[in-house]
């Protein structure tokens, strides 16, 4: 199991539990995450869900070392975009169980919530970050597109472009200043801040919480959230099979995933000859 679950005092705690890999997303994790959210929704004693990461980080993104170095999950020169779409869209739908949950969800972010990890965090209703934690989507430079599309819905067009045109990360303080997350607190106060917020929510009747959440989420649905996610998911597959995406995977296969990431994130020019 990649997820642990605990419920107490009207709160469910869902923990991403691959600390040895900085809670990197495996093929099993999205499905197990959605099952844990469903379990919390089925429990009449639970009023609020807290999502957190074990160990040194919230989530470091997809566990891409095997897929990048060995090509697992990467199709050949002639690739089937719908086969790719079905797999990746299932991940997005599992993350969105946090958004669709009738019970409020809070992401507690320490260390990193990057790449696919930012997708998971931003699907929660609220995010509380440690001031020194980092959030961003580095694969926007090469080999990815955020499938949940939550950057634009939380930040607006200009700041979403600032993040996705560069692949930069920002710390918790800046994320709170921009309105990406609800609050940033000193690292030593993260647990108590999330507990205080969760306890405040837990005192509200379940039907009231569900009605407020459905009403607010409907506004995002009216703005085309699901359609944007379909486009983002398709573009994510294209990004991994574009000439630049194939260069990234081939470079990782020859030199190692970490070396490929260092090249990508440094801003070094991708070679013009991609044949």
Structural domains present in the chain = 3-266 (3.90.226.10)
pLDDT at 70: 62
On the 0-12 / 13-18 / 19+ scale of CB atoms within 10 A, 203 is: exposed
- What is the Cα–Cα distance from 143 to 128, expressed in whole angstroms? 28
Between 78 and 184, the higher pLDDT residue: 184
Does residue 24 register a pLDDT over 90?
A: yes
The β-bridge relationship of strands 126-130 and 134-136 is unpaired
Does residue 273 register a pLDDT over 70?
A: no
Mean pLDDT over residues 154-161, rounded?
98
- What is the Cα–Cα distance from 184 to 150, expressed in whole angstroms? 19
Mean pLDDT over residues 195-221, rounded?
98
pLDDT at 214: 98
Give 64's pLDDT tier (boundaries 50, 70, 90).
confident
pTM attached to this predicted model = 0.95
Neighbours of 86 (CB within 10 A): 11
pLDDT at 79: 84
pLDDT at 272: 67
Does residue 57 register a pLDDT over 60?
A: yes
Q: What digits encode the pLDDT tens for the residues 12-23?
A: 999 999 999 999
Q: What digits encode the pLDDT tens for the residues 76-130?
A: 677 899 999 999 999 999 999 999 999 999 999 999 999 999 999 999 999 999 9
For residue 78, give every residue at least 6 positions away whose Cβ sits within 8 Å of its Cβ, in sequence order, or none.
none
Mean pLDDT over residues 254-263, rounded?
91
Give 52's pLDDT tier (boundaries 50, 70, 90).
very high
Tokens of 272: 């013009």
pLDDT at 271: 81
């Amino acid at each position: 199991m990649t997820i642990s679950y605990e419920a107490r005092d009207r709160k469910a705690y869902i923990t991403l539990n691959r600390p040895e890999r900085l809670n990197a997303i495996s093929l099993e994790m999205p499905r197990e995450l959605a099952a844990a959210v469903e379990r919390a929704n089925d429990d009449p004693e639970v009023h609020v869900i807290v999502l957190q990461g074990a160990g040194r980080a919230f989530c470091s993104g997809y566990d891409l070392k095997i897929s990048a170095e060995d090509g697992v999950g990467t199709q050949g020169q002639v690739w089937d975009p719908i086969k790719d779409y079905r797999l990746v869209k299932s991940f997005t739908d599992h993350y969105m169980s946090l958004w669709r949950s009738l019970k409020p969800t809070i992401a507690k972010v320490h260390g990193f919530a990057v790449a696919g990890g930012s997708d998971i965090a931003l699907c929660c209703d609220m995010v509380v970050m440690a001031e020194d934690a980092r959030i961003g989507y580095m694969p926007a430079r090469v080999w990815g597109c955020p499938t949940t599309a939550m950057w634009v819905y939380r930040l607006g067009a200009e700041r979403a472009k600032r993040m996705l045109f560069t692949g930069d990360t920002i710390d918790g303080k800046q994320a709170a200043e921009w309105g990406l997350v609800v609050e940033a607190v000193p690292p030593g106060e993260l647990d108590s801040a999330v507990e205080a917020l969760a306890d405040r929510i837990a005192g509200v009747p379940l039907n009231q919480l569900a009605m407020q959440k459905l009403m607010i989420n409907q506004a995002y649905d009216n703005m085309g959230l699901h359609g944007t996610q379909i486009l983002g998911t398709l573009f994510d597959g294209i990004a991994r099979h574009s000439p630049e995406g194939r260069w990234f995977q081939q470079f990782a296969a020859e030199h190692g995933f970490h070396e490929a990431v260092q090249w990508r994130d440094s801003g070094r020019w991708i070679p013009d000859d991609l044949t």
